[in-house]
Structure 1
Amino acid sequence: MKITRLPLGALSTNCYIISTKESALLVDPSAEAKVIIGKLKDIGLPVDAILLTHTHYDHFGALDEVQAFTGAEVYMSDIEKDWLTDTSKNGSIRFTEEITSSVRPNTLKEGPCTLGAFKFDVIHTPGHSPGSLSYKFEDFIVSGDVLFNKGVGRTDLYGGSEAELMYSIKEKLFKLDPATTVYAGHNIPTTIGDEKENNPYVR
């Protein structure tokens, strides 16, 4: 699989395009819809699905335009479905202009999942937000704003919990193979092993 990372918007929130020779998955259409659509045109593959790691505004700001272009179904946690239209929960009313989405998403539960040509595990990793989902593929994971390169997600936003975040990281993510590459919602990739050894925020 090929992974294309697009840091977009004011917060440089990563949008990921995961592709094979046949099709693609899009994770977190964060901002700058024209950039995402342009890259999808360059790749030239059908999009099997759009995944959201969670629904803070900076992770779905381009969702409506990108979904309309691709025609792909959107998948996320049922815990945060109303965050797409609730600007106090998705944080946009606090930090920027009000950002909402009219997309009607499908919901995912923790466990194995197949969407189109892609098979992966859905891992519920709350703490940064109550419905945060991480997506584990064969040798990499897309972790949203749970675990970063030498950092962790903030817990002072609506529904955040430091105790839950630490549990998600230590009891779920850190149980993965140390060689697993971590593609986070911000910053550059890292590995589970590197974060277990060197992340100063995991206690």
Structure 2
Amino acid sequence: MIFRQLFEPDTFTYSYLLACERTRKAIIIDSVESEADMYMELLDDLDLTLINTLETHVHADHITAAGLLRDRLGSKSIVHRDAGAICADLLVTDGVELQVGDIEIKVLHTPGHTSGCVSYVIGDRVFTGDALLINGCGRTDFQEGDAGTLYDSITKKLFSLPPDTLVFPAHDYNGKTVSTIRQEIDSNARLGAGKSKAEFITIMHNLDLPYPKYIDEALPANQACGQPGRDTLIRQG
């Protein structure tokens, strides 16, 4: 399998390109609009065809390139059915299995950061979006977030994966690129080392985080797959 971890420094966003070496079919997880030209150059350099763009959730900190890549390359966009983005080509649910070439993708519904968050299990790795970060997790104070729900998503679904599973999040603010399920179970600052749900909820309620910088632009844009103004645009209530 071809694998590239890509970083957008303004919003500290990781995007991931994965491709089947046999068929040259590719996917991108959590694309960023400003990086679209770079994605297309990389796909061309590697002789790959983009089949799908996958979102772990409707992002509040950057605009997805899904719609732009769909227009330019014919790729299909994938989000969870609760994400609030009916513009997507495929709305998935928990347990759905997808295949692109020889790449097998399992969808895990991991809500809590938002109601439509998913993680994607691909081989020995899991792409956790903003649900589980390296030594942290996504905030739960907007977009229908709920700390108790996020605790259950992480401890019951993600922490039940094999301990050596590689964890690739959608963001990191400290230069870290990868973790493992074992490492997060043992030492995640917010919910590792056996922290109870009550302890986690208290931690999350006391974070006092600033209002997301790009949310007023990014959220409606991402509900339209990065292309606001189309008939498919909907807004969360």
Q: Shorter-normalised TM-score: what interval?
A: 0.7 to 0.9
Query: 2 CA distance for matches of 1:157 and 1:81?
Result: 14
* Counterpart mapping for 1:1-203 below 5 A: 1-8=1-8, 10-21=10-21, 22=23, 23-32=25-34, 33-58=36-61, 60-82=63-85, 103-117=87-101, 118-187=103-172, 188-202=177-191, 203=195
The number of residues matched between the two structures is 184
CA offsets 1:77-117 (integer angstroms, 9 cap, x no match): 111234x7xxxxxxxxxxxxxxxxxx443101111412332
TM-aligned CA deviation for residue 139 of structure 1: 0.6
Greater relative contact order (CA < 8 Å, ≥ 6 in sequence):
2
Which ranges of structure 1 fall in alignment gaps of 5 or more residues? 85-102
Q: Equivalent residue of 1:111, what SS?
A: coil
Sequence identity percentage: 29
Query: 2 CA distance for matches of 1:139 and 1:168?
Result: 19
TM-aligned CA deviation for residue 25 of structure 1: 1.2
Match for residue 94 of structure 1? Answer: none
Letter in 1 for 2:155: K
Q: What TM-score results when the alignment is normalised by the length of structure 2?
A: 0.73
Query: 1 CA distance for matches of 2:50 and 2:68?
Result: 14
Contact map agreement 2:77 2:89 (CA 8 A) in 1: yes
Q: Equivalent residue of 1:79, what SS?
A: coil
TM-aligned CA deviation for residue 58 of structure 1: 3.6
Letter in 1 for 2:186: E
Structure 1 residue ranges, 4+ long, deviating more than 6 angstroms after superposition: none
CA offsets 1:115-146 (integer angstroms, 9 cap, x no match): 33232211000001000010111210111001
TM-aligned CA deviation for residue 70 of structure 1: 2.2
RMSD over aligned CA atoms reads: 1.7
Q: What TM-score results when the alignment is normalised by the length of structure 1?
A: 0.84
Residues 108 and 59 of structure 1: CA distance in aligned 2, closer, same or farther (over 3 Å)? farther
